[in-house]
Chain A
Amino acid sequence: MNGARSPQPSLLPAFRVFISCVSDEFRAYRRDLQNSLTASGREIKIQEQFTDSGGKLLEQIDNYISKCQAVIHLVGDGCGVSPTPVEVRTMLKAHPQLVDDLGVLPTSFDTDLFRISYTQWEAFLAMFYRVPCFVYLADSKSRREDWKPPPDQIAAQKKHVERLEAMGHKRRMLPFVDAKDVALGFLNAILQHGDWSADEMPEAPQTFVWPQAQVHLDSHLADRHEEFQAFIRLVTGQSTERIQFISAPSDRGKSVLLAQFVNFARRMPGLCCGHADFKASPSLADVLWDLSRDLAPLRFPRFKREMDRSATDSLRTAFLQDLDESGKPVVLVLDTYEQATEEASRWVENRLLPHVRRYDGLRLVLAGIKVPALDPSRPWSRIATSRELPLIKDPAHWCDYARRVMGLTVSGDDQMKFDDHIRIIVRAAAGHPRLLETLVANLVSDGG
């Protein structure tokens, strides 16, 4: 207020809540709940707000829930109306992985899939998008005595509850007495658990199948064999280390080496590789966006939702949660760490590195002029190694480079003369890789 920097973002992200229930059964509760939860900046929607648009109700619900911060799902005796098979097929076409992802739904060939009601889909869509879904079950006090659904709806709703329980949602299914009870419980959950969205995450798999290197590969660089082999061990699960720091002053070929790592990792079946760069101090959101784009086969539902909201911290947490849930081995390659803003480097050191330690499916390579120091008091240090790229002062490595990488073919006196030249320029250039690559390339193009 006094003109000093404020500690929070200047814009408050919107908080969207969807109240999901069968209107005929819980209309009054829903209205009361809507009134109780309404507050400045909080957007509360219900199914009826979409029905006027005609024909695409499921698509609209899908679209809204994908951007929600929470869904409140009231479960009673009835399940409500079901969408048309065309609507369901359209949605499944948009999300081909939905049935597999949730694991409890009938297959797309099973007609039971088309019996799932709009209200039931609302809960499933919330889970698909990893939106925290608060399920409240009507108990003897809240159940409507004056309203009875047809028997087939009662059976369908029973099945729905079984599916929710099978998805591990039992711990989140609470009985409710009235709308105020739900509102208080919900607000309490928001207030008391900053990381409550983490509850939506299924247990991460404990072991990962790391791919095996199919063929022997080496770097196309001078004297970087050791670093390259260490990387291969890292991404094939043959090493106890999970984090590799690569540091060196400018012009030692860090970025070129990392580009080769990435090239190699992308050719390994079953391994996902994300590559990003802190060059020119991009925002952390931009870096994470680049990584999520690189890791396109993986889903990032929470991350994409938080991108819409511009909520800084939630965005970063969402990225890690989505990553954990992918179930696939992932390697992240981050370059030019010295140009990361302090905000970004704090996140890397306080959140990302501890996360790699906890989560077995993730490996990290971080390179820069400066990298985090290995510190025994920080647990992630135990699974990290730090290498400094040396200057390449041994002329033999450059002779090898000229032949192996640049394709030089000379012999006899010419070879001796070439090796002599190499010795002279290596000494003059003090082993600086970038300069030597240029000089060797020129020598080779001059025919040695």
Chain B
Amino acid sequence: MPLDFNEHLLLVQAAQGDPALLALATLDIVLASQPPELRRVVEAAAVPHWFDETLFHLILDDDLRAESGRWYAAVIALPLVEAIPARQGFNIHETARLALRRQMFTERPERFCELSERAAAAFSGPAVHDQIEHVYHLVVAAPAKGSFALRDLNVRLTGSVEASLALTSAIEEYGRDVVWPALARGWAFLLSAWNRKALRPEQTSADASKAFWAFMETETDWAIKLAQVKLGETALTTGDLSEAQRLFTESLLLAQCLTESDPANAFWQRGVTLSLNRLGGLAVAQGDLIAAEGHFTASYKNSERLMVLDPANADWQRDLAFCLCSLGDVAFAQRDLTAASRYFNASLEISERLTASDPANADWQRDLAGILIRLGDLAVAQGEGTAAAQHFDASVKIRERLAASDPANAILLRDLYVALEKHGSLAVPLKDMPITQRYVAGGLKISESLGVSDPDNATWQRDLWVSYWRLANLMERQCQPEAGAYWGKAYDIVAGMKQARRKWDQGKQQPKKTEFSE
């Protein structure tokens, strides 16, 4: 029944200027003159981020579905509904949608979960945005099941930064309000810690911590473990090695408990492998090669067990290749070249098999290029210059292609720089120097472009210095007059770095001076 002026006024005044309540008041006023079923229709439409006629039909209540076409026409004519061109559909305006979802969840949770379940089922398409929408509903309708689906989807989206961020944005809603289930809240924070770490590094630790405490509320061990690992990684980044050690050890113990409780669960087993790898990496950072070897060996054995269970699984093969490569690094650092060679070659064999099975997989290509560099270093240490050149050359070719596929990606460009630099650093007779010089010049081009893009990046400045130095050296040995200019450039870089260091040191001392003067 339409409301009169005074009733309108009462509704609006009750909202007291709160945007969410005002949006609900608008909805009440709009719906007052409409058939009573339209409220249920709007509730169904407000659950998903967007809907088209097919999705709307699937989410609508059973008794209304026979006339879903009519209800669809009615709902999209409402002033609160907007078109969403990217999805070729419509959505309830965000403020009203969020307010309505929250109101339903707090006041009528069964109704909300019923609609969310239907929405999760409706978004069953293979498109990334459908998969994201599916887990967005599932994680509140059935938090335990939704958590697994969320974790799996995030893994599947690895490699597409945009898709991962879209998933993070969609789930973010649950982290903004404590009314949502703790698991959903925990995921909102953990996804943010995982997927936004490069964009908001300062936020990662807080996000991981919030995820940890949200998961603790639910006592979901495996999710707690994931948050702990993330916290450990953050501690490692900030240089807090003992905290990282504690968190990685705890996550390992948790993963081992989970494995014991469900030995057939490959995910828990992989959790053991990943925790061991992190502990191994940490031991390397601490210079404890014996401990590192122990962790990587245990990880290797665990990966091998997984491989036996499912030999075709590419993830297990990749884990195994990583363990072998890490063991090779440790052996190399211990100057045990025979063992290093054995590990690197075994890792190479797996990587080659993987890349042959899917040459378009960039992750595997990058792994392969990394192992080839290690084999090149090993050959240098063994005094086999020709073999080293072959390995570095093969790595250059792979990295050249990876860099060409994404020319703005600084990590890939630096990968290529490293491979070119390695090749350029090989000792060669005078007649082969022009070829070597070409590699060094290629590396210089990259280090120059990276250096210009971020002059404050010390690693890139160092790369630039190495390139100038290397080129000057080669030119001088070939009696090329340009050598002097490159020596000068190398000197300028070093001088610039020293000056930056001085400024940085002074900056660090500044607060002390202020303290003293105060």
Contact = CB atoms under 8 A, between A and B. Distances in A.
Q: Which of under 10, 10 to 19, 20 to 34, or 35 or more describes the interface residues of B?
A: 35 or more
Given A283-B162, A283-B163, A250 B95 contact: yes
A251 interface: yes
A357 to B, nearest CB: 19
A432 B165 contact: no
A60 B321 CA distance: 43
B434 interface: no
Interface in A248-298: 249-251, 255, 275-277, 279-287, 290
Interface in B348-403: 359-363, 365-367, 370, 397, 400-403
B129 interface: yes
A242 to B, nearest CB: 24
| Most central of B8, B30, B367, B442 by chain A CB within 10 Å | B8
A209 to B, nearest CB: 29
Contacts of B194: 5
Contact of A279 (B86, B199, B370): B86
Q: Which of under 10, 10 to 19, 20 to 34, or 35 or more describes the interface residues of A?
A: 35 or more
A41 interface: yes
A50 B359 CA distance: 25
A8 B406 contact: yes
Nearest to B170: A281
Given A275-B85, A277-B84, A12 B159 contact: no
A280 B49 contact: yes
A82 interface: no
A15 B407 CA distance: 14
A195 B407 contact: yes
Contact of A429 (B22, B162, B164, B200): B22
A257 to B, nearest CB: 13
A268 B171 CA distance: 41
B412 A7 contact: yes
A432 B21 CA distance: 12
A437 interface: yes
B362 A10 contact: yes
Interface in B287-325: 318-319, 321-322, 325
A362 to B, nearest CB: 20
A432 B94 CA distance: 15
Interface in A1-17: 1-3, 5-15
A341 interface: yes
B162 A435 contact: no
Interface string B30-64: 10010000000000000001100000000000000
Interface in A111-125: none
Given A40-B359, A251-B95, A443-B5, A287 B86 contact: yes
Interface string B14-37: 000101001101100110010000
Contact of B12 (A5, A192, A341, A428): A428
Nearest to A346: B199
A421 interface: yes
B210 to A, nearest CB: 19
In the A-B complex, list the 6 residue pairs whose CB atoms are closest, starting with the nearest. A194-B407, A10-B159, A341-B165, A282-B86, A250-B95, A7-B411
Interface of A: 1-3, 5-15, 39-42, 187, 190-192, 194-195, 249-251, 255, 275-277, 279-287, 290, 311-314, 339, 341-344, 346, 421, 424-425, 428-430, 432, 434-435, 437-439, 441-443, 446
Given A41-B360, A425-B9, A443-B5, 18 more contacts: A1-B318, A1-B370, A5-B159, A10-B160, A12-B362, A12-B405, A192-B442, A249-B19, A279-B49, A279-B82, A280-B87, A283-B162, A283-B166, A341-B169, A343-B162, A343-B165, A435-B23, A442-B2
